[in-house]
Structure 1
């Protein structure tokens, strides 16, 4: 007994860190092979219905050239349109991209094409767009909120009648209707056939529709070194995609022309106003010359007076030009002060300073650009704020330039006036009449020159206004793709097939990550550091009752061979002389009774006398599995009511296989096991049996197993595949390190030798039962054998 209480230590298993095992990793997935074809079929079916339901999207593309107006023009036309020239290069293209993608232009497209009302019908699972093919046309007058949420369904009865929604009363085309959707008129559409008798009319909010269309519009610059833009619009209708691009380009061109004509119109108005004023002054001067000649009787002027007159005329022309420039500068200064309040733009043709002309041109461009952004963007838009800042800086630069030019012109005017004073002194020698005539004639010449100058500028401005052309040119008209760009059928099928493989992989990995039970023998050895004495496979056809709890030890089934192997490994326990074995586990259901019964049967078939003692006094099951009575047993012996000879029962398994059941369930099992009669029971059994197997309660639940372990040679701790928690392995390791149990070893039970392990054998669940022997397996169908191989 002393040797059994202090057994020799069992070999401590040190498991080194193993390298990645590809085969074991793949077997993890092969165990659930059926998930892959299942999910592949499922995802392909989903892809099929998705492709049937989803409307195909076609792409329409057009190419637009943004002209650089500073290049490619020559001669007088370049001078005439110089003030109207805009920026070239990337800045111009970026501005035009913003304009093309503005809500103002797209909103105008929606309004012109009447896209607020869309027509669709159902063709099986597919939705068919009836753009320009609808047999009906709805002209809304009042639209309610319900119309934006639910479609209006029109059922065609014949060529002249229709029904609305679920109404039974037919109505005539052209009749004005009023219902929950609003007020509208239904007319016959462009398509006169009745191929589609049910038409869904969708009313769309113009703002939301505009935003949605802008999301489907793409404007790109294929080459940064060019000013070519590529416009792409995606839509279920090929014709609608082309119409949207064509109308967008038309609206864009008209908007550009309106901006250009606005500047030319302001300049022409300023010149007309000046012409009206000069014409009146010239008429007054001519009448004054006529009256003076008639009153004074003048017919000719002397050569001397003519010479003075010519000199004074030249000087006066310069002085008048200076005064005109001063007036122009004043008009420029007034325009800059009042810009944005309806002030008329000054005529830049009358400004000789190129810097001022450039600044005014820049100012006008920024003013137009700010107006466009103000129409298409919000007040806090960074682009609008940037243009406003640039406008203020340009305004300040113009005012400073005007002041500098004004100071220079004042100096020039003073010099010309002093020269006129000298010429006037020379004229004092001329007779008074002739001198007065020269003065009047000089005023006439000045007014005539100014009048001719304004006439010339008016014609130039009118020519520029008449010859205003757009700064863009359509290179390629909208063209749509033959095949839809969305959904990409090949990609959908490929993605569905890939999803059918990836989803099971993710599910299997999730199962393994969430599974906290023991899966492999390596788990036992690495976490508990205890040697595995044997493995017992899983049987599929196990039952819970009767003799079927015992394996046919005469068969060549895998489980029978495993019990023979376990029987052989008993000689390696301790010093090889361990004959009293206790079976325990962490919790119930891990197979203690099953393994102990079949190991006892295997030992009996090897000509060993074996007794199986049922010491699970709380929940006995041996008598049910071996079909023996349990009216007396260990409990009776421990309380002194029966002798050992009265407790031993033979089993129908083998003549050398006896059993002592637990007997009636006592109220104090732990006290009975520690009352001192248990060692005597085991001592008496050792005299008659080669092996004593004890079926004890789970160690993790009660202390009975700890009390029994003090009197046995070795302990076989049951760990069940996919049932025992990994945390329980740590407890086994602690028991091994503390030597609480003599010669502790693990029996790995219920292993599923399916695809995960590469075998096709095993036994069933906790109920246990026969595994098919060779004759039975040969009789199975091919499908059953294949199922057995992968299960």
Structure 2
């Protein structure tokens, strides 16, 4: 097919649905096979370590009977009433809620001292020392620091201990103060663990956590039996918690039933204690009352109140007079100049206000003198007015401050006056209270006898109450742990070892913004791919290793032969001057241009390769030739062509014109008119002219060269060219900027499952031989053994 037809097919590629290639899809993941070999052992090892260090959890269960509280139904009761009394669902739900309440569990935590736990290391495990701890702790004060940090206590056989491996020793039974708080450390049970880790728990948080491990449910439908289950790493602790929970539940039920009698008894006991004390002290109440009220002689006290009130009234009158004076000053200042009389200053004891008033009066007199002798527009007159305004404002602020202070003083004096007046009026009341105290003795004796009688009656009613629940089975624990479930852990670890690499691989694919397959290149660019070049195996850092031998039978060599064949279908078949460019560097232009030239030369064609990358040339390094002279010399007119052309050393029909010395102005040098002369002269000598140009996406040199060539090969490299760069190729194809533009898909790694495998299917590689032999049992050997990929 010709170039136009291939372009047309590429433009309609979006409408085609390619057949799904399962092998290619799986090959993408198989390329990262080492991730599976890495994560699966890690996950299984993590599962093994988790099972070793995790304490097994056991479950304890018990059964509780809730008695039916329905009364005997007489003949006069209706059938509906009997049914209502028989229905106990709501009662059971209430009891379940009570059993799972934070109040009851909090009481369990407190009574069993569960807010302090003791643990010890046993290999990699941490075991709970509940009921077998070598120490006991009675905490007086626990700090917030203690809730977040465990305390390590080391004991010895001599009865001493250390805190956190410190150097100071304490005797068991002594009190210590640390950052964890204040507590006693006493000797516990004999134990084989000298180092104990003490963890202080926040009671509220511990209670919520324990409720999460408690399960309460109805054992059988239509029954009032409740089954209680509790999970814990210690079998004995789980049993003790259930037993204590039932104890506090029964006690709470009794307390609820006897709440009225209990409150009555408490009230009677408190009143009896109070009355008993009052009876023993009633003779002393008169003395205490007189001392508390300060009573000696009521008549003399009344005279003292009157004298104090008189003195206070004198001060209050003085303050009111000063306030009136300040009001007159304020009135004068606001109406100055309207004939208002000047206030008297002899009662003003504030020196600042006196000086301000004196200054204001002087300015007022001065203003009147200027008014008589000058015009109003006189600057002196304006200056005096400005000074008077400033002084008036200062006087008003000072007056307001003084008035606020005097108002506070007046309020204080008024309050003192009121206190004295109320004290004077309370003298008769004190006499009545004094007489009333004497009557308290008879009243309290009668009340004491009445309370004694009621206490006995309430105590009898309180003792007659019984509980409405009964324990059926004592707590029983499971022999096998319920957590962790070993089979689930192993299965989850194995699945995680498979899923984690899949997630990582998909993330790599999703975050990769480079070209990954041939289809997306054709879909985005709407340009045909003339050839596909695979990744050359055994390619090292030596540039000579990237040159394919003429006699090579590798897959990459066959791909270059196919590229050589496809050149005759470009355009009208007469394209002999071909430029190779790309979007960015390192996409393989020099690699393809050299090997394509070798392939053309091996078909008995005279070929010359021109290095026109005048900015960053690499052609001479790959061919290991000198770059002291080259195309730049010809473009500046320094030498003739025969002196610049060098043999490639790879084939007699293959010559090279390197770029030569780097010029300071490459773009200007390419557009000076010498380039078409160079190409015209070379057309007469060679069958094919290949031009290695700079990347089009970085500089404009390739655009200048494209005006003088027959066709352009645009190199796109797998996993290197950005997808955004393909949009530029699409624009070049749309605008026909480059003549006979075709793409070369370079560097395809078929281990990824991308591109087209050369031949028919993956086994087609067996038709070729590789130049670099794979030694050892590698991934290639694994593929051959499986026969799948």
TM-score, shorter chain, exceeding 0.5: yes
Q: Provide the rounded CA distance (Å) in 2 between the counterparts of 1:62 and 1:140.
A: 32
Q: Any idea what SS the aligned residue of 1:107 has?
A: helix
Kindly provide the CA deviation profile for residues 166-187 of structure 1, in whole angstroms up to 9, marking residues without a partner as x.
3445544434444444444333
| 1:404-553 alignment, distance < 5 Å | 468-553=465-550
| Bigger mean CA offset, 545-554 vs 236-245 | 545-554
1:712 to 699, 709, 716: 709
Q: Does 1:595 align with 2:592?
A: yes
Q: Does 1:59 align with 2:55?
A: no
Kindly provide the CA deviation profile for residues 598-636 of structure 1, in whole angstroms up to 9, marking residues without a partner as x.
100011111111111111122222111112222222222
Aligned match of 2:185: 186
Aligned match of 1:259: 256
The answer to whether the 8 A contact 2:580-2:692 is kept is yes
Aligned match of 1:11: 7
Aligned match of 2:147: 148
- Label 1:223 to 1:734 Cα distance change in 2 as closer, same or farther (>3 A): farther
The answer to whether the 8 A contact 1:8-1:575 is kept is no
Q: Provide the rounded CA distance (Å) in 2 between the counterparts of 1:553 and 1:166.
A: 77
Aligned match of 2:137: 138
- Label 1:93 to 1:669 Cα distance change in 2 as closer, same or farther (>3 A): same
Structure 1 residue 787 displacement after superposition = 8.3
Q: Any idea what SS the aligned residue of 2:118 has?
A: strand
Kindly provide the CA deviation profile for residues 706-758 of structure 1, in whole angstroms up to 9, marking residues without a partner as x.
22212222111100010001111121122112221111111111111225359
Structure 1 residue 49 displacement after superposition = 2.7
- Label 1:742 to 1:257 Cα distance change in 2 as closer, same or farther (>3 A): same
Q: Any idea what SS the aligned residue of 2:689 has?
A: strand
- Label 1:249 to 1:691 Cα distance change in 2 as closer, same or farther (>3 A): same
Structure 1 residue 197 displacement after superposition = 1.4
Aligned match of 1:315: none
Q: Does 1:36 align with 2:36?
A: yes
The answer to whether the 8 A contact 1:27-1:758 is kept is no
The answer to whether the 8 A contact 1:587-1:698 is kept is yes
Structure 1 residue 466 displacement after superposition = 6.2
The answer to whether the 8 A contact 2:23-2:753 is kept is no
The answer to whether the 8 A contact 1:716-1:745 is kept is yes
Structure 1 residue 102 displacement after superposition = 2.2
Q: Any idea what SS the aligned residue of 1:736 has?
A: helix
Aligned match of 2:773: 777
2:609 to 588, 609, 612: 612
Q: Provide the rounded CA distance (Å) in 2 between the counterparts of 1:107 and 1:658.
A: 94
Aligned match of 1:574: 571
Q: Provide the rounded CA distance (Å) in 2 between the counterparts of 1:215 and 1:89.
A: 26
2:723 to 711, 726, 733: 726
Q: Provide the rounded CA distance (Å) in 1 between the counterparts of 2:51 and 2:723.
A: 47
Structure 1 residue 66 displacement after superposition = 1.9
Aligned match of 1:689: 686
Q: Which runs of 5+ in 2 are unaligned?
A: 267-456, 759-767
- Label 1:618 to 1:102 Cα distance change in 2 as closer, same or farther (>3 A): same
**Aligned residue pair count:** 578
Structure 1 residue 75 displacement after superposition = 9.2
Aligned match of 1:382: none
Q: Any idea what SS the aligned residue of 1:11 has?
A: helix
Q: Any idea what SS the aligned residue of 1:687 has?
A: helix
Q: Provide the rounded CA distance (Å) in 2 between the counterparts of 1:696 and 1:238.
A: 81
| 1:285-324 alignment, distance < 5 Å | none
Q: Provide the rounded CA distance (Å) in 2 between the counterparts of 1:681 and 1:9.
A: 33
The answer to whether the 8 A contact 1:90-1:224 is kept is no
Structure 1 residue 266 displacement after superposition = 9.4
Given the two structures, how large is their TM-score scaled by the length of structure 1? Answer: 0.67
- Label 1:157 to 1:579 Cα distance change in 2 as closer, same or farther (>3 A): same
- Label 1:498 to 1:622 Cα distance change in 2 as closer, same or farther (>3 A): same
Q: Does 1:22 align with 2:19?
A: no
The answer to whether the 8 A contact 1:155-1:197 is kept is yes
- Label 1:262 to 1:776 Cα distance change in 2 as closer, same or farther (>3 A): closer
Q: Does 1:679 align with 2:665?
A: no
Tell me the C-alpha RMSD between the 2 structures: 3.5
- Label 1:62 to 1:553 Cα distance change in 2 as closer, same or farther (>3 A): farther
Kindly provide the CA deviation profile for residues 504-557 of structure 1, in whole angstroms up to 9, marking residues without a partner as x.
111111111111100111121111121111111113432344533411121212
Aligned match of 1:101: 100
Q: Does 1:650 align with 2:647?
A: yes
- Label 1:208 to 1:543 Cα distance change in 2 as closer, same or farther (>3 A): closer
2:638 to 616, 637, 641: 641
2:202 to 201, 205, 224: 205
Q: Any idea what SS the aligned residue of 1:34 has?
A: helix
- Label 1:574 to 1:754 Cα distance change in 2 as closer, same or farther (>3 A): same
Q: Which runs of 5+ in 1 are unaligned?
A: 1-6, 270-459, 762-771
The answer to whether the 8 A contact 1:153-1:165 is kept is yes
- Label 1:46 to 1:758 Cα distance change in 2 as closer, same or farther (>3 A): farther
